[in-house]
């Protein structure tokens, strides 16, 4: 039986550096060269000052669970064997919020406010997803 | 700033299509059926309609409906912002009518989500290059329930809200549905039964979620002057306000329990020149039980964090001292793809005193509140007779 294809991100010109970094096990976010504002997800220009001069910074990889849920039903057939899984909104120490799974722990152990650390899950030759684990 | 528009237009005809499970019909069929019924209700003809505000899960809904009805309107608007779309269309219609761009606006919606066997909107595959495709979908978020589960989790963590509080909302909705012959789910239920239903996305269970049904609806909006010459009692647009923030990727650092509702409520009440205490009928979009608790707080009917305690003890149910969602709501009445139309129509029926067993004793002023997508935008509407 053919295995269901997990929905994978398709990088664009603006997001390619983010996905390249993830493949090299680095979590990066955009920082404006002019006003130093940071933004997630990656965009064409800085939404704080309109500058197109945008760079990237390496994140510490640390963050805090803003909120989360435990999915008891998979969003696609390709994720069926992962149920139950945690989807969380994570506030990175760098001041932006992103979404990811919290992996390698019982879902019951996740709390709002839990400290988490980035890890990386290779899902195809091209794509590695930043994920998070609970910080002991 | 929009105060001069208060009572400038009125709803003069309103109707639902067939509801529940309606096999063999398309969303367009239900939408058009409701449109015909709303026009008959208003005592108007298709030839009177010169503005079409239509929304199905298709971008070109306005054109499609005009073609089906055989009319050539001079104003069309198919803006889709999720569940609240048809409530927002009232404001768009008001603007167009005030600007002289049309005079008789038909606002219509239809959906066959139940018969089609899908909760999906649009039926097109997701574009994995878009922000949601790249940064949300790969993580398996269930949408929209996952987002509202995360909101509920936050509410419980911050304020101590309980699963029982959520269940109160579902049970109150069912009790109203039992008074509504058109409601899809009318059987007896209990807090315990809701709390024992299947967990889908913690802490939301199956019975915390709205129904999936087929349904259409339509209403007619025209100038206050013309409204007074028609056969039905005009239901005036007293106040309305909107706010918008995101699509499906709420990555700003804003608080997910502060979604600009306080702002739309205040603006709508100010435009109407009334206070919360003046409101007789409250219709709050109940996609999920937590949505009602959060909206009650943000609308200012109770303090932030007190929504759970506010709904306890059957307060929202028939006989309670804060009756809301008298149709049975999205939780027990009907919930097609987007519930805004039916939410608004129930307010109209209450104000026109057409609600039979579930009619509220005093119904002069109604507040309708609806969000769109995933706490992405809001409309607060005040209607009055």
ipTM of the complex: 0.96
SS3 B347: helix
pLDDT in tens, B157-209: 999 999 999 999 999 999 999 999 999 999 999 999 999 999 999 999 999 99
For residue B251, being part of any structural domain is answered with: yes
Picking from A97, A99, A129, the nearest residue to B141 by CB comes out as A99
Backbone angles phi, psi at B256, to 5 degrees: -75, -5
Written as one string, the DSSP assignment of A63-103 is EEEEEEEEESS-SSGGGGGG-SEEEEEEEETTS-EEEEEE-
| Three-class SS state of B167 | helix
H helix or E strand, kind and range, residue B105: strand B104-112
Same domain, yes or no, for B189 and B94? no
Please tell me which residue in B75, B147, B184, B333 is annotated as part of the active site: B333
Greatest extent of chain B over all pairs of C-alpha atoms, in Å: 56
pLDDT in tens, B128-164: 999 999 999 999 999 999 999 999 999 999 999 999 9
Total tally of structural domains belonging to chain B: 2
Q: Is residue B163 part of a domain?
A: yes
pTM of the model: 0.95
Asked if B362 is an interface residue toward chain A (Cβ–Cβ < 8 A), one would say no
CATH code: domain of residue A113: 2.40.50.840
Could you tell me if B306 and B223 lie in one domain?
no
**β partners of residue A64:** A91, A115
Q: Report the pLDDT value the prediction gives residue B124, as an integer from 0 to 100.
A: 64
The pLDDT tens digits for B294-325 are 999 999 999 999 999 999 999 999 999 999 99
Active-site annotation holds for B285: yes
Domain residue limits at A22: 16-134
Put simply, the chain B residues between 194 and 213 with a CB less than 8 A from any chain A CB are 198-204
Q: Which residues of A touch B166 (CB under 8 A)?
A: none
Range of the domain at B338: 141-206+239-384
DSSP string over B191-249: HHHHHTSPEEETTEEGGGB----EEEEEEEEEEHHHHTTSSSPPEEEEEEEEEE--SS-
B307, B287: one domain? yes
Please give, rounded to a whole number of angstroms, the shortest distance from the CA of B360 to a CA of chain A.
38
By C-alpha distance, the chain A residue nearest B125 is: A7
The answer to the question of residue A1 being in a domain is: no
Active site residue B333: yes
Question: Which distant-in-sequence residues (6+ apart) come within 8 Å of B119 by Cβ?
Answer: B113, B212, B337
Q: Which of residues 222-251 of B touch A (CB under 8 A)?
A: 249, 251
pLDDT at B274: 98
Q: Cβ neighbours of residue A20 under 8 Å, at least 6 residues apart?
A: none
Pick the closest to residue B132 from A113, A98, A74 (CA basis).
A98
The predicted pLDDT at position B118 comes to 67
Chain B, nearest residue to A123 by Cα: B138
Q: What is the CATH number of the domain that holds B284?
A: 3.40.47.10
Q: What is the Cβ-side half-sphere exposure of residue B60, based on CA atoms within 13 angstroms?
A: 4
Helices (H) and strands (E) in chain B, counts: 14, 11
Q: Are residues B173 and B293 in the same domain?
A: yes
Q: How many CB atoms lie within 10 A of CB B230?
A: 17
Nearest CA-CA distance, residue A118 and chain B, Å: 14
Q: Which residues from B are below 8 Å from A66, CB to CB? A: 154, 256
Q: How far is CA B136 from CA B99, B126, B150, B181, B243, in A?
A: 41, 12, 14, 40, 23
β-pairing, A128-134 with A115-122?
Answer: antiparallel
Sorted by sequence, the CB contacts under 8 Å of residue A105 that are 6+ apart come out as A86, A133, A134
How far A42 CA lies from chain B's nearest CA (Å)?
9
CA B31 to each of CA A131, B34, B111, B140, B256: distance values in angstroms, whole numbers, following the listed order: 44, 5, 8, 33, 34
Q: What pLDDT tens digit does each residue of chain B (385 aa) get? A: 688 999 999 999 999 999 999 998 888 899 999 999 999 999 999 999 999 998 776 668 899 999 999 999 999 999 999 999 999 999 999 999 999 999 999 999 999 989 988 655 555 678 999 999 999 999 999 999 999 999 999 999 999 999 999 999 999 999 999 999 999 999 999 999 999 999 999 999 999 999 999 999 999 999 999 999 999 999 999 999 999 999 999 888 889 999 999 999 999 999 999 999 999 999 999 999 999 999 999 999 999 999 999 999 999 999 999 999 999 999 999 999 899 999 999 999 999 999 999 999 999 999 999 999 999 999 999 999 9
Phi-psi map region of A80: left, alpha, beta (phi>0 left; psi -120 to 50 alpha): alpha
User: For residues B186 and B239, what is the distance between their CA atoms, to the nearest angstrom?
Assistant: 33
- The number of domains in chain A is 1
| Distance between CA atoms of residues A33 and B22, nearest Å | 57
Q: Confirm whether B93 is domain-assigned.
A: yes
Q: Are A9 and B256 an interchain contact pair (Cβ–Cβ within 8 Å)?
A: no
CA–CA gap between residue B383 and residue B238 (Å, rounded): 5
Burial B255-265 (b: 16+ CB within 10 A, else e): ebbebbbbbbb
Q: Is position A81 within any domain?
A: yes
Contact B367, B274 (CB under 8 A): no
Residue in A16, A75, A94, A98 to test binding to B, most B beta-carbons within 10 Å = A75
Work out the angle at residue B64's Cα, subtended by the Cα atoms of residues B58 and B70, and round it to the nearest 5 degrees. 165
Judge if B292 and B370 occupy the same domain. yes
Q: Do A112 and B202 touch (CB under 8 A)?
A: no
Cβ-Cβ contacts under 8 Å, A96 against chain B: 251, 253
Q: What is the rounded average pLDDT of the residues A13-18? A: 96
Say yes or no to pLDDT of A1 above 80.
no
| pLDDT of amino acid A19 | 98
Helix-then-strand count for chain A, H and E: 1, 8
Rounded to whole angstroms, how far apart are CA atoms B327 and B285? 11
Q: What integer pLDDT is reported at residue A6 of this predicted model? A: 85
Instruction: Count Cβ–Cβ pairs < 8 Å, chain A vs chain B.
Output: 112
Of B138, B201, B251, the CB nearest to A40: B251
């Amino acid at each position: 039986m053919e295995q269901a294809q997990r929905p994978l991100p398709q990088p664009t010109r603006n997001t390619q550096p983010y996905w390249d970094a993830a493949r090299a096990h680095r979590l990066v976010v955009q920082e404006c060269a002019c006003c130093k504002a940071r933004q997630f997800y990656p965009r064409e220009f800085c939404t704080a000052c309109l500058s197109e001069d945008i760079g990237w910074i390496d994140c510490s990889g640390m963050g805090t669970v803003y909120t989360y849920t435990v999915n008891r039903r998979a969003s696609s057939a390709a994720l069926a064997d992962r149920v139950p899984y945690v989807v969380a909104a994570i506030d990175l120490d760098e001041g932006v919020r992103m979404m990811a799974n919290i992996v390698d722990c019982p879902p019951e152990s996740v709390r709002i406010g839990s400290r988490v650390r980035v890890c990386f899950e290779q899902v195809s030759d091209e794509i590695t997803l930043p994920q998070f684990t609970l910080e002991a | 700033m929009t105060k001069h528009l208060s009572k400038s237009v009125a709803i003069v005809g309103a109707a639902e299509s067939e509801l529940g499970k309606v096999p063999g019909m398309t969303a367009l069929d239900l939408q058009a059926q409701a449109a015909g019924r709303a026009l008959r209700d208003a005592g108007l003809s298709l030839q009177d309609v010169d503005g079409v505000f239509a929304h199905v899960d298709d971008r070109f809904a306005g054109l499609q409906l005009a073609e089906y009805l055989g009319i050539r309107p001079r104003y069309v608007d198919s803006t889709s912002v999720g569940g609240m779309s048809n409530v927002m269309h009232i404001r768009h219609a008001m603007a167009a009518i005030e600007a002289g761009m049309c005079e008789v606006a038909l606002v219509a919606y239809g959906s066959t989500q139940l018969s089609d066997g899908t909760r999906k909107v649009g039926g097109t595959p997701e574009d994995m290059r878009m922000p949601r495709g790249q940064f949300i979908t790969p993580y398996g978020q269930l949408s929209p329930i996952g987002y509202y589960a995360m909101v509920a989790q936050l509410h419980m963590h911050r304020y101590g809200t309980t699963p029982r509080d959520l269940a109160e909302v579902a049970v109150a909705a069912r009790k109203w549905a039992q008074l509504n012959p058109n409601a899809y789910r009318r059987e007896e239920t209990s807090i315990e039964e809701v709390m024992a239903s299947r967990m889908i996305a913690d802490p939301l269970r199956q019975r915390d979620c709205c129904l999936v049904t087929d349904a259409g609806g339509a209403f007619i909006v025209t100038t206050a002057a013309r409204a007074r010459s028609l056969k039905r009692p005009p239901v005036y647009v007293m106040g309305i306000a909107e706010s918008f923030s995101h699509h499906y990727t709420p990555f700003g650092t804003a608080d997910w329990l502060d979604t600009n509702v306080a702002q739309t409520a205040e603006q709508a009440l100010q435009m109407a020149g009334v206070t919360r205490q003046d409101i007789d009928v409250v219709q709050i979009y109940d996609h999920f039980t937590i949505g009602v608790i959060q909206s009650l707080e943000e609308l200012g009917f109770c303090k932030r964090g007190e929504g759970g305690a506010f709904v306890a003890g059957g307060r929202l149910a028939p006989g309670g001292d804060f009756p809301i969602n008298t149709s049975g709501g999205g939780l027990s009445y009907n919930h097609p793809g987007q519930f805004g139309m039916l939410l608004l129509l129930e307010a109209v029926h209450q104000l026109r005193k057409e609600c039979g067993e579930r009619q509220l004793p005093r119904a002069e002023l109604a507040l309708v509140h609806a969000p769109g997508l995933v706490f992405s935008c809001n409309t607060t509407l005040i209607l009055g007779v």
